[in-house]
Amino acid sequence: MYHVEVLPNTSGKGSHATPGWTYVPDKGFDPAKAAIAPTTGRKRGIRDPSRTDVSSRQANAIVRHLAELDRENHKDAAIAIPARKDSQPRESATRGTRTKVTSNVRRILQSQKTFRNYLDDEEAALAQAASAGTSMAAQRLPAGRVTKPSSLSRRSATPASATPKPDSRAKKDIPVRLSSQKPSDTTASTSTSTSTSADADSQSQPQPRPKGEEHDPNALIKSEHDNDPLLKSYIPPAPSERLMRALLSEPPLSYNASRAGPPLTGKAPRRFCCICGYWGKIRCRNCHQRTCGIECYKTHEDSRCGAFF
Amino acid sequence: MGTTKPRPPGKNSLAQAQSLPDKTFIIDNGAYTMKAGYAPDSLPPDDEETTLSACTAIPNAIAKARGSRIYVGAQIGTNVADCNEMLFRRPVEKGYTVNWEAQKEIWESSFFDEKTARSKELRIADPEDTTIIFAEAPNALPALQKNADEIIMEEWGFGGYLRCVGPSLNAWNEAQSLFGDPVLSQPGAAVSPTECLLVVDSGYSHTTVTPVYRGQPLQRGIRRLDIGGKHLTNYLKELVSMRQYNMLDETYIMNEVKESACFVSNDFSRDLERTWKGNRRRGQPDPGDGVVVDYVLPDPNGGRRGFMRPHDPLLVSKQRKAVLAGASADQLNEDALILGNERFTVPEILFTPSDIGMKSAGVPDMILQSLSVLPTGLHPAFLANVIVVGGNSLLPGFMERLEAELRQIASAECVVRVRRPKDPIRSAWLGGSRLATNKDELKKMAITRQEYQENGSSWTARKFSGAL
C-alpha cells in the first residue's frame, strides 16, 4: 500500500489557481516508513524484489564491503615512525654537503593527506575546469601539449563522458585508413609493421605475403589457394607512424577515467550462499541474502539475518 | 653497450652541462614490496639471473607486532618471530606513494643508512653520483607525482632522475624467447624495447592493463581494476573468519595462507560442486579430494611455521586414538583451517568482480576494453604479446585461465599468447636495468640535477609526461 499524503505547496501560497497538493516522486524504500506501508503479502514479496526495494540498501552494503576489503589493517592503528637515538648524526651524514631541508620537502613530509584527500582535490580541480568552460581549458592546454581537440575535451570533461570520446575518434580513424590503404597494402605493411608480421605469419598461413621478404627458416608454402577469398584472413594493416606518434603523445587519463568499465557480457551476476559459499539457490525473504539450502538458511536466520542491511 | 659506447660525456661536457651519473639505481616502489638495486654497467650476455641478483625485494611497510615492537622495511621479512596480530603502515596507497614521511623512513633505513642497509649493493652512498629510476603506477595523480619529484630531487638530490610508468619498463626485457619467437636482436646491439607488448600488472593494490608501444605506454588504453592481492587476502580473511576462526587481525598469516593455498579455478562450477559439503554425507568417496585442504596455522610458541596438507576428515579421531594409545599430545593442540571453496572463490574475483558485487569487468574483459580504444591494426600484435607481471600471476592456474578466457572473447583471427616472465615480481625492475644500460635512451628520458635546479618541479612533470 502506498502512502499518500497532502503536502503543502509553497509556490501556490498566494493564488488559489493550483490545488494545495502536488505529486512527488516515490523515493523507493524508506526504512522509516516501512512499518506504515507493509509489503504486499509474503510470497509476492519474495518473487518481486522491486516491491520492497532493497537494492539501495544492498548497494550500500556492497560499497561498505568493498571499502572493508580495501583496508590495510582490520582495526585502525596509528603507527608512528620509530624514533632513532642516533638521528642527529645520521641526518648530517646522509644529507652531506647539502643545505637544510627545503620548504617543499618540509611540506610534503608533514602532510598527513591520504590518497582519498588527493583524489578529492583532483576531482574538484577537474570539475572546476569543466565548469569554467572551454576558455579555461584552452588556457591550460598550451602548458600541457599541443594536441588534438579530443585530448582537450578529455582533460576537462567528467570521467563518465570522457571514456567514449577516444573510442569514437579511433573508430573514425580506422575506416579512413582502411579504405585508403587497402590497395597499397603490401608497401604499407612492410614499412610500418615488423611486429605484426611476426604474428601474422604464425597465424594466417594463407595470407598472401608481401614479396621481397626473406623467411628462410619458416618460409611459407605457396599454393593456388593462397588467394582464395574464403581462406583469406582479414587482418587490418598496422596504423601509420603519424597516428602512432599522436597516440603516444596523448596525456594520461585521469584516475577515475582509467578505471575498467562494466563487464562486456551481460551475464547475470552469480549468487553464492552467504554461509558456505556454494550456489545461492534460495533467498532470505527478510534480507534477500542467498543461501544454498535449508541447513545454511537456518544458520543464517539464527545468526546473521539482516546483519548487513 | 659498453664496448660501442665509451663515456666521453662524463669528462668533457662537465663544464657546460652536467651529464647523467654512470651509476643507476632503480626503485620499483610497490605497495607491498619495493624492488630496488643498482643496474649493471653493461648488459651481461643473456643471463637474467646475474642481473636479478642485484635486485632485492624489500617489504615497503612499517609493522607493529604484539608488544609494540616496530619493524621497518627489510626487518619484517627476517627479524619478526611472532607475526600474530601484526599491524602495517604502508606509505604506498592504491599503488601510489602518498605518505612520504613513512616512505622516507623506509628508504633511509634500507638504502641510505650504512648501519641498517642490508648490503653494499643496496646502499646509496652518494646520491649526487647516482641516477635514480623511480617506477610509479600508471595514471598517478599529478599532485603525487609532483611530491615525488620534489622530495627525490630536493631531499636526497640525486644526480639524475627518471620517473616512469612501471609496467612500461617491462618492454625493455627480452620478450622474444619468452614467447618462443626467433630472437631478432643482434648480440652486440644496444637494448631496445619490444615493439608491442600488453602488460597486465596484477599487484597488491590493483590490477592494470597497459599497452606499451616501443617502450612507451599508450595512455588512452590503460585500464585499472581496483582488485589486487590485498583484496584477495582480506576477502579470504573475511570468509574464514565467518566460517571458522576469527582471523580478522591476522593479515600477515592470512596472506601466507593465500599464497600457499589459493588457486585460480579453470572450471569454476565443477570445483564448486566438488567442494559441496553435501558430498560428505553420501558415504561415497569424497570428490573434494585434492581440493579441500587443511592449513595448519603457525604456532609462535612452538616456533612452527604454517603449512598446508591434504584434508582428512577422520584426522581428529585418528589423533585422539593415537593419544590414547600413548603418542605425544602435541599434535592435538594444533589449529588448522579447513579450506574448501575458499581456495578458488577468492582469486575468482579477479576474473568475475561481480561475485562481490563490484560492477566492473574482470581481467580478460578489461584487456579487450583497453584494446577497444586503440586502432584495430594493433590488436593482433598486442593480443599475441600479453605479458603478466605482479604477485597475483603466481597463483596457480592464473595464466591458463587468462589465456583461455581471452581466447574465447578475442577475435578469432588473432593469435592469443599470454606469458609470464621467470620472475614476475621483479620483471619491471629488470626492464629498468636493461634500459639503464642503454645510456643514449636513458639520457633522452632522464633529467639531471642541474636541470631540475634550473627549471623546477613543474618543468620536470612536463618532461616526464612527454610534453617537452
Residue B44 pLDDT grade (very low, low, confident, very high; cuts 50, 70, 90): low
Chain B interface, best mutation among A56, A64, A71, A72, by max B CB count within 10 A = A72
pTM over 0.90: no
pLDDT at B209: 94
In a domain, A221, yes or no: no
A145-152, long-range: CB within 8 Å, 24+ apart, which pairs?
Answer: A145/A249, A145/A251, A145/B465, A145/B466, A145/B467, A147/A246, A147/A249, A147/A250, A147/A251, A148/A246, A151/A250, A151/A251
Q: How far is CA B202 from the centre of its chain?
A: 7
Section B325-352 average pLDDT: 80
In a domain, A305, yes or no: yes
Q: What is the pLDDT along chain A (309 residues), one digit of tens a residue?
A: 566 766 665 554 444 555 566 666 665 555 555 444 445 555 555 555 544 455 777 788 888 889 988 888 877 777 878 776 554 444 444 554 455 678 888 888 888 888 889 999 988 998 888 888 655 444 444 433 433 444 334 444 344 433 344 444 444 443 333 333 333 343 333 333 444 444 444 444 444 444 444 555 666 777 777 777 777 766 677 788 888 888 888 888 889 889 988 887 777 788 898 888 888 888 888 777 888 888 888 888 888 776 555
In this predicted structure, the answer to whether residue B387 has a pLDDT above a threshold of 90 is yes
Lowest mean pLDDT, pick from A199-213, B308-322, B390-404, B430-444:
A199-213
Are B97 and B72 a contacting pair, CB within 8 Å?
no
Interface of B with A in 43-72 (CB under 8 A): 62-64, 70, 72
Are residues A77 and B89, on separate chains, in Cβ contact within 8 Å?
yes
Q: Can you tell me which residue has the cell 541447513?
A: A295
- In 3D, which of B182, B48, B12 has the Cα closest to residue A214? B182
In a domain, A141, yes or no: no
In this predicted structure, the answer to whether residue B31 has a pLDDT above a threshold of 50 is yes
In this predicted structure, the answer to whether residue B111 has a pLDDT above a threshold of 90 is no
pLDDT at A221: 75
Q: Strand ranges (DSSP E) for B109-246? A: 130-136, 160-165, 196-202, 207-213, 216-217, 223-225
Question: B358 — contact with chain A (CB < 8 Å)?
Answer: yes
Are residues B462 and A98, on separate chains, in Cβ contact within 8 Å?
no
Distance CA A304, CA A284 (A): 11
Check residue A219 and report its DSSP letter. Answer: P
Question: B282 — contact with chain A (CB < 8 Å)?
Answer: no
Q: Can you tell me which residue has the cell 642503454?
A: B438
Are B436 and B39 a contacting pair, CB within 8 Å?
yes
Question: B329 — contact with chain A (CB < 8 Å)?
Answer: no
pLDDT single digits (tens) B287-338: 556 788 888 888 877 777 888 888 777 776 777 777 777 666 555 667 888 8
Closest-CA residue of chain A to B111: A94
pLDDT at B210: 94
Q: Top-level CATH class of B229-344?
A: alpha beta
Are B339 and B293 a contacting pair, CB within 8 Å?
yes
What number of H helices and E strands is found in chain B? 19, 20
Please give the CATH number for the structural domain made up of B9-226+423-464: 3.30.420.40
Distance CA A68, CA A65 (A): 5
Question: B141 — contact with chain A (CB < 8 Å)?
Answer: yes
Domain segments of chain B as ranges: 9-226+423-464, 229-344
pLDDT single digits (tens) B174-206: 877 788 777 666 666 677 788 889 999 999 999
In a domain, A112, yes or no: no
Are residues A109 and B139, on separate chains, in Cβ contact within 8 Å?
no
Interface of B with A in 120-139 (CB under 8 A): 126, 128, 138-139
Specify the number of domains making up chain A. Answer: 1
For residue A172, give Cα distances in angstroms to A169, A175, B374: 5, 6, 11
Q: Can you tell me which residue has the cell 652541462?
A: B17
Are residues A247 and B218, on separate chains, in Cβ contact within 8 Å?
yes
Closest-CA residue of chain A to B142: A122
Length of chain B: 468
Q: How far is B49 from chain A (nearest CA, A)?
A: 27
In this predicted structure, the answer to whether residue B271 has a pLDDT above a threshold of 80 is yes
pLDDT at A150: 42
Nearest to B87 among A79, A194, A217 (CB): A79
Are B348 and B355 a contacting pair, CB within 8 Å?
yes
pLDDT at A153: 40
B332-335, long-range: CB within 8 Å, 24+ apart, which pairs?
Answer: B334/B296, B334/B297, B334/B299, B335/B245, B335/B296, B335/B297, B335/B299
Judging contacts by C-beta atoms under 8 Å, the chain A residues touching residue B405 are none
Judging contacts by C-beta atoms under 8 Å, the chain A residues touching residue B357 are 58, 62, 65-66, 269
In a domain, A184, yes or no: no
Are residues B377 and A196, on separate chains, in Cβ contact within 8 Å?
yes
In a domain, A139, yes or no: no
In a domain, A294, yes or no: yes
In a domain, A173, yes or no: no
Instruction: Show the domain range for A295.
Output: 270-309
Closest-CA residue of chain B to A72: B88
